[in-house]
Structure 1
């Protein structure tokens, strides 16, 4: 069943409420698409809707409930995404990344800021600072602490123009050009190699470092369904210049 609560949360000069399903997210997405609720309004387990749309949404089949009942039914459905499971705000991710860098290269702060500028480019919707922060968290869980893996993580999407394969090669070239003064030639080669492993996430048998980086880069596939749906939406926006078949290949 599609549910909505009172629109009472102010933002952007309007009042907003929550639109949810107590059955599954597919039902919610279908309803939102049918009634014209923008995809950008989806936030992990609900869509935000403006107060002036309440009557039309109810006329289209949504049922009004109070906020406590909506939350209770959302939790009972198993679709509730807890705060710690959600995609962080970009500003939060940026501060976490600045702190993480101090463990990797505290004397190379100019490089940190250059990379963070790249990861913050306005055309990025998924492959931004939040993705990098999530990847590094996944490496923590895997116990993948080797510096060359961490360097590869920072560089793996440093160049991002929406051209799969070309971007990874360009990112590897950037790593080679940038890290020569910080790492040994062998380490630079390994960082570049690892970056290029993320083209297809198919490390060779026995390539433990490549496996760690590939698994961490794809960690979003193992998150809560609502967070995955945010990811899928953002990938579609980021690769809007491609047809749906190619986007599905990228996002799975």
Structure 2
């Protein structure tokens, strides 16, 4: 259900309501698009709505509830975004990480962060980038990840339109175009490009340690607990809110089958130990729900 609380949150000379769904993010984005709300009004788990739009949205079908009720139902749905995952917090952490990785290159870092913050993104956001970088840390502990591999993580979804294969190609081309100005050696740039392209298949060759690290970090989301995996599915479905349900189920089933067919799914020793069994269990449950007409994007 679409819910809206009273306009009571002051900002920019007016008061704002919060518009949410207690069912799926895809439902929320479809309603917002139909109502003409700008994508930039979305803030992780809700749309900020100025006071003058409140009555119109209620007439369009949003159920008016108290602020407390809205938060309670959002939390119970599993769609409440934790404070640590708020865009402003993620942005600050990523800015610090970029400074450590590429000191003296703040302009390029800002350009990449702008790309990761594009309003049409729902899963492939700065939060996903930070999750990949964090997973790289876990895979490489106690040593830091190789700088070139971390740089490939920054570029691997820098271009995202939802076109599988084409996005990775465009992201690799972006790296090839922008990195020479940083003074990075040509061999390192070529390695960043190779690693970004490898995320199309997530199938590094035997002995390709950098490829295994990046692919495992990119797929670490599959090994989340059930609540985390449900949120991941919510976000991916929201990126394809324009796709009808039957087509979504067909396409997503193909993705799940492809991932389950990867042998192994995780190529590093640490990645396999951390995520393999849980990831396969999550994918099998998702595939079963998709085949049975259930709702695999619902929170447990």
Q: TM-score surpassing 0.5?
A: yes
Offset of residue 90 of structure 1: 6.8
Offset of residue 97 of structure 1: 2.0
- Call closer, same or farther: CA 1:233–1:117 in 2, change over 3 Å: same
Structure-2 separation of matches of 1:62 and 1:51: 14
Provide the residue aligned with 2:213 in structure 1: 212
Q: Provide, for residues 71-127 of structure 1, a one-character-per-residue CA deviation record: whole Å limited to 9, x for no partner.
A: 1122122221211233445751453224532xxxxxx733x3353144245796257
Look up the SS of the partner of 1:140 in the other structure: helix
Q: Which moved more, 1:55-64 or 1:146-155?
A: 146-155
- Call closer, same or farther: CA 1:19–1:156 in 2, change over 3 Å: closer
Aligned residue runs from structure 1 range 169-248, under 5 A: 169=173, 171-172=175-176, 178-180=183-185, 190-217=191-218
Q: Give the superposed CA RMSD.
A: 4.1
Q: Does 1:22 align with 2:15?
A: no
Provide the residue aligned with 2:47 in structure 1: 47
TM-score of the pair, normalised by structure 1: 0.66
Look up the SS of the partner of 2:48 in the other structure: strand
Offset of residue 189 of structure 1: 5.8
Look up the SS of the partner of 1:81 in the other structure: coil
Aligned residue runs from structure 1 range 1-252, under 5 A: 1-88=1-88, 91-98=91-98, 100-101=100-101, 109-110=103-104, 112-113=105-106, 115-120=108-113, 125=118, 132-143=129-140, 145-147=144-146, 148-154=148-154, 156=156, 164=167, 165-169=169-173, 171-172=175-176, 178-180=183-185, 190-217=191-218
- Call closer, same or farther: CA 1:230–1:128 in 2, change over 3 Å: closer
Look up the SS of the partner of 2:3 in the other structure: strand
Offset of residue 57 of structure 1: 1.7
Structure-1 separation of matches of 2:174 and 2:21: 43
Structure-2 separation of matches of 1:30 and 1:139: 34
- Call closer, same or farther: CA 1:93–1:234 in 2, change over 3 Å: farther
Q: Provide, for residues 185-204 of structure 1, a one-character-per-residue CA deviation record: whole Å limited to 9, x for no partner.
A: 6x676445324323544323
Provide the residue aligned with 2:278 in structure 1: none
Q: Is the 8 A contact 1:135 1:216 kept in 2?
A: yes
TM-score of the pair, normalised by structure 2: 0.58
Structure-2 separation of matches of 1:122 and 1:25: 21
Structure-2 separation of matches of 1:139 and 1:83: 22
Q: Is the 8 A contact 2:23 2:77 kept in 1?
A: yes
Q: Is the 8 A contact 1:173 1:192 kept in 2?
A: no
Give the total of aligned pairs: 228
Q: Provide, for residues 44-81 of structure 1, a one-character-per-residue CA deviation record: whole Å limited to 9, x for no partner.
A: 22222111112122222222221112111221222212
Offset of residue 134 of structure 1: 4.0
